[in-house]
Amino acid sequence: MTARKRNSNRHKTEQVFIPDKLYFRIGEVATLCRLPAYVLRFWESEFPQLKPVKSSSGQRMYRRRDVESVLRIKQLLYEQGFTISGARQQLRAEAKPDKTQSAIPFPAQPSSEIQQIRQGLREILSLLSTRRTG
């Protein structure tokens, strides 16, 4: 096995179980993602999606979506061979809403059912306004 192949296997992103917690410290994220903490700090400066909040004591507190982002970045860089710039672009493209998906179509003419509901609401409004004044 070549050195390159051994190296790529070491960074293989396995299915990582992320515990059900609100926040993770940087050390926990480093352990979960099998990355050194300095790599996480560097990625914070390179990827705008990765923005852990800071606790009152200055500790980085990662949310679940931050951990998922770290795993995705790791996959792009180590498995798929993206450069940092390329990974940044890929993440941006993945975050954009799908333009091909159309909005829910609204009927051009209100259906008779909707017209009945509107009429019923008008009657209720009328009853309420006559009660207030009467």
pLDDT in tens, 58-109: 899 999 999 999 999 999 999 999 999 999 999 999 887 665 655 566 666 6
Q: Candidates 1.10.8.50, 3.20.20.70, 1.10.1660.10, 3.40.50.150; correct CATH number of 3-95?
A: 1.10.1660.10
DSSP strands (E only) in the chain: 24-25, 53-54, 60-62
Q: What is the rounded CA–CA span in Å between residue 71 and residue 36?
A: 13
- How high does pLDDT run on average in the chain? 83
Whether the model clears a pTM of 0.85, i.e. scores above it, the answer is no
Residues 6+ apart with CB under 8 A from 62: 23, 24, 25, 26, 28, 29, 52, 70
